[in-house]
């Protein structure tokens, strides 16, 4: 059987890697000059692992996904922490007891912490929109504060819409944490591939049954040559935008090198209220690389414009989901093509979710 995979991002690479032992011939085509999609990384002249499309931190609770990827890489046991500049101070995000104590007078902080502990479970996340519903005046104040200082302006910069106009799945990504754990993720498995993402991807497709063709555009006439196609490009593009374009957000990165050992206190610092960028990522932290230079990226959200920049995030809301459903209906009539990935499924997948989807697909295809 001959399979065509369009797009050499995490989704198709994981799928290829999980199907490769079978009697299948897999051709992966990729329009860019490298594999890995937006997870592509490289080591620069300082031996620092640069994530070319912004910081990527692998985290999952899915043991299958972790074991699957661990065939292709060892992991640096990195645990992600994010700080945000709020009222002139760098505080842990998600907002937790430490952030509260840093920003509020002692007695007030104490009351808030007690109230959080009495209303919510310890060491758990509470979505900010849920905290807003609390009857306790201190927690209402806290909710408004976090909403305003962490959430509202970051979200406006990032998405160019008000939080209410986004799916709660997106807004639910920034909770308040009931405890002192400063980590951004509490997932059981977290890490950065020890030799980088791209090296891991190379190993995933290193097999005589898999051929990767870079700088290769997809053309519908290719479908005739294959028994099945896995398409991880944009589903609206596949159908020539017949129902209109699915909206996306894009990003622009300014990479800067400073001749000093460290630029900031940790790998990612968010700037919800200041500047036009949302965050600065400093790359040496991910693999704890020692260097006299610090390499950082300033991250500027921008509109996705076809032909001008790349798609990064589907903008998930009711209207866009309806538009996607129309494409999905259309897709169902073509049994020869399976859509997957952030762009094929129009879903805000984290890396592990993309891999989990591919492992499921591999099972049904086997
Ligand atoms: N967010 C926010 N303030 C922050 C961090 C995140 O309001 O300090 C919101 C924002 O809407 C963002 C979403 O939460 O798009 C998801 O953030 P996350 O860091 O998970 O996004 P990613 O790393 O996928 O861009």
Length of the chain: 366
Mean pLDDT of the chain: 96
Q: Which of 178, 129, 166, 169 is nearest to 150 (CA)?
A: 129
DSSP class of residue 303 equals E
Query: Among the atoms of ligand 1, which is closest to the Cα of residue 55?
Result: 23
> Ligand 1 test: best mutation among 84, 92, 131, 158, most atoms within 8 Å of CB?
158
Interval 229-247 mean pLDDT: 98
pLDDT at residue 174 tops 80: no
Share of the chain above pLDDT 90, in %: 92
Residue 348 near residue 324, CB atoms below 8 Å: no
Which pLDDT value is given to residue 173? 67
Comparing 173 with 51, the larger pLDDT belongs to 51
Residue 82 near residue 269, CB atoms below 8 Å: yes
pLDDT at residue 176 tops 70: yes
- The residues pairing with 59 across neighbouring beta strands, listed in sequence order, are 190
The domains found in the chain, sorted by start residue, are 2-74+193-246+316-365 (3.40.50.720), 90-178 (no CATH), 249-303 (no CATH)
Helices (runs of H) and strands (runs of E) counted in the chain:
13, 19
> Ligand 1 test: best mutation among 99, 173, 185, 354, most atoms within 8 Å of CB?
173
Pairing of strands 58-60, 189-193: antiparallel
284 band by pLDDT with thresholds 50, 70 and 90:
very high
162 band by pLDDT with thresholds 50, 70 and 90:
confident
Q: Which of 298, 283, 297 is nearest to 44 (CA)?
A: 283
358 lines ligand 1 (CB under 6 A): no
The pLDDT tens digits of the residues spanning 97-143 come to: 999 999 999 999 999 999 999 999 999 999 887 898 999 999 999 99
142 lines ligand 1 (CB under 6 A): no
List, as own/partner pairs, every contact residues 17-22 make where C-beta atoms lie below 8 angstroms and the sequence separation is at least 24, other chains included. 17/68, 17/71, 17/72, 17/204, 17/205, 17/207, 18/68, 18/358, 18/359, 18/362, 19/362, 19/365, 19/366, 20/205, 20/207, 20/209, 20/210, 22/209, 22/366
The pLDDT tens digits of the residues spanning 185-214 come to: 999 999 999 999 999 999 999 999 999 999
Q: How far apart are CA 351 and CA 40, in angstroms?
A: 12
**Which residue intervals of the chain are DSSP H helices?**
10-19, 63-70, 97-103, 106-119, 128-131, 137-146, 153-159, 168-171, 197-204, 235-238, 318-332, 341-344, 351-365
Q: Whose CA is nearest to atom 12 of ligand 1?
A: 155
Q: Whose CA is nearest to atom 7 of ligand 1?
A: 151
Q: How far apart are CA 132 and CA 305, in angstroms?
A: 35
- CB-facing half-sphere around the CA of 195: CA atoms within 13 A: 10
Q: Taking the CB of residue 9, how many other CB atoms lie within 10 A of it?
A: 27
Query: Among the atoms of ligand 1, which is closest to the Cα of residue 153?
Result: 7
Please state the pTM of the whole predicted model: 0.96
Q: Which residue bears the tokens 């999980």?
A: 18
184 lines ligand 1 (CB under 6 A): no
Q: Which residue bears the tokens 């692998």?
A: 58
């Amino acid at each position: 059987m001959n399979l065509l995979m369009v797009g050499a991002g995490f989704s198709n690479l994981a799928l290829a890697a999980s199907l490769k032992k079978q009697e299948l011939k897999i051709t992966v085509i990729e329009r860019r000059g490298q594999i890995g999609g937006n997870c592509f990384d490289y080591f620069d002249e300082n031996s620092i692992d640069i994530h070319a499309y912004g910081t990527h931190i692998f985290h999952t609770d899915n043991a299958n996904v972790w074991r699957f990827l661990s065939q292709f890489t060892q992991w640096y046991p990195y645990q992600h922490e994010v700080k945000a500049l709020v009222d002139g101070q760098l505080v842990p995000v998600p907002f937790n007891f430490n952030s509260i104590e840093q920003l509020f007078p002692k007695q007030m902080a104490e009351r808030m912490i007690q109230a959080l502990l009495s209303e919510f479970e310890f060491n758990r996340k509470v979505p900010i929109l849920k905290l807003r519903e609390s009857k306790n005046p201190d927690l209402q104040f806290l909710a408004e504060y976090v909403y305003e200082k962490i959430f509202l302006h970051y979200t406006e910069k990032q998405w160019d819409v008000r939080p209410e106009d986004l799916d709660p799945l997106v807004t639910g990504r920034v909770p308040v944490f009931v405890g002192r754990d400063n980590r951004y993720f509490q997932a059981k498995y977290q890490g950065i591939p020890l030799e980088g993402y791209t090296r891991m991807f190379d190993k995933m497709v290193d097999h005589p049954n898999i051929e990767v063709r870079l700088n290769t555009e997809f053309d519908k006439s290719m479908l005739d040559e294959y028994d099945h196609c896995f398409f991880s490009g944009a589903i609206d593009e596949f159908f020539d935008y017949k129902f209109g374009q699915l909206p996306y957000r894009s990003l622009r990165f300014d990479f800067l090198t400073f001749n000093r050992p460290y630029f900031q206190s940790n790998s990612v610092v968010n700037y919800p209220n200041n500047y036009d960028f949302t965050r600065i990522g400093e790359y040496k932290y991910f693999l704890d690389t020692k260097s006299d230079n610090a390499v950082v990226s300033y991250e500027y959200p921008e509109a996705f414009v076809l032909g001008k920049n790349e798609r990064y995030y589907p903008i998930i809301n009711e209207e866009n989901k309806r538009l996607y459903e129309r494409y999905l209906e259309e897709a169902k009539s073509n049994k020869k093509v399976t859509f997957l990935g952030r762009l094929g499924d129009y879903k805000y997948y984290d890396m592990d979710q993309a891999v989990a989807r591919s492992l499921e697909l591999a099972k049904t295809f086997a």
